[in-house]
């Protein structure tokens, strides 16, 4: 089978697509791959926050249209950017082995968070990161930051910010880890659901392709991703909501922690649950129920119009 891969044009998206292409081409069922680079609305509109233009789902709509129209067979996504609910007719056929799950601080002069000056300007368009930064340093001034990885690094270098926050996995994939000043532990900053995981989306009806793609899935990543993404689904949270979730598995036991917080850093609702990893979805649902009991939905509704 020859496989056509729809991808965004950014350096990171192309790295991810090429990585998946190489893995696929090692399979006997695959006779070759081709990339279909595309621009998406999320890439093209950089002067407004994602919250205002429709969320991170804008990065995948054109890719889904290409698959729907028969121009492409699959699309590779950073799973943290994929909405909890996919459009009818599409599925996530692959959940690949998780790379680095952490958020990374990149600062001028390599300063750590506690070494930044008072009221330092931090570049981030993530309400999840903003909320947790404010919990660590209430004085920080969080300012919107859009664009691809290299564009964001250039803005820091040009002095527009004192520091920026990016996903460590993306920097490592592009060989840019030398810029990292500090990697936040989950106790400092919980990551987004499935951060560091690559997922492959295709049409649900394409059984032959799905059977091939399932071979690329990592069982541990499937379980942790299921647990984490269940939180967002049950809370009806978008990829932009200040919701964090992180699961680990050890000796068959899954431990899941999730957080919902106001972008100003307070109030914060944080809960954990543990159990058999085979019950990943049920554990996610149980933890989401605890968050809801403590007012998570009301908190999310109260900040729907929050503008970072």
The predicted-structure confidence for 151-191, as pLDDT tens digits, reads as follows: 999 999 999 999 999 999 999 999 999 999 999 999 999 99
Catalytic site positions = 81
What pTM does this model have?
A: 0.91
Q: What domains are there in the chain, each with its CATH number?
A: 2-96+194-217 (3.40.190.10), 103-183 (3.40.190.10), 229-302 (3.30.160.40)
The predicted-structure confidence for 212-241, as pLDDT tens digits, reads as follows: 999 999 999 999 999 999 999 999 988 789
Among 212, 223, 174, 216, residue whose Cα is nearest residue 199: 216
273-295 burial code (b ≥16 CB/10 A, e <16): bebebeebeebbbbbbeebbeee
Rounded Cα distance between 196 and 208, Å, is 27
């Amino acid at each position: 089978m020859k496989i056509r891969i729809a991808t965004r044009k950014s350096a990171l998206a192309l790295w991810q697509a090429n990585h998946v292409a190489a893995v696929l081409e090692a399979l006997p069922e695959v006779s070759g791959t081709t990339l279909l680079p595309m621009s998406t609305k999320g890439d093209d509109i950089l002067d407004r926050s994602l919250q205002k233009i429709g969320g991170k789902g804008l990065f995948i709509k054109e890719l889904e249209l290409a698959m729907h129209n028969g121009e492409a067979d699959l699309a590779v996504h950073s799973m943290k950017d994929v909405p909890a609910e996919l459009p009818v007719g599409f599925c996530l056929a692959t959940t690949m082995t998780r790379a680095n799950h952490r958020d990374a601080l990149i600062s001028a002069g390599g300063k750590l968070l506690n070494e930044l000056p008072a009221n330092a300007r931090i570049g981030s368009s993530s309400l999840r990161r903003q909320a947790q930064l404010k919990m660590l340093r209430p004085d920080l001034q969080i300012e919107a930051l859009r664009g691809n990885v290299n564009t964001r690094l250039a803005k820091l270098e040009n002095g527009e910010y004192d520091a920026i926050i990016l996903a460590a996995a993306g920097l490592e994939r592009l060989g840019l880890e030398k810029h990292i000043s500090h990697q936040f532990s989950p106790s400092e900053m919980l990551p987004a659901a499935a951060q560091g995981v690559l997922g492959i989306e295709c049409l649900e009806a394409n059984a032959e392709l799905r059977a091939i793609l399932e071979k690329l899935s990592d069982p541990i990543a499937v379980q942790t991703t299921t647990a984490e993404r269940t939180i967002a689904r049950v809370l009806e949270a978008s990829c932009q909501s200040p919701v964090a979730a992180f699961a680990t598995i050890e000796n068959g036991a899954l431990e899941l922690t999730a957080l919902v917080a106001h972008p100003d850093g307070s109030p914060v609702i944080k809960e954990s649950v543990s159990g058999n990893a085979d019950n990943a979805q049920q554990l996610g649902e149980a933890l989401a129920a605890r968050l809801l009991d403590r007012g998570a939905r009301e908190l999310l509704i109260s900040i729907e119009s929050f503008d970072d």
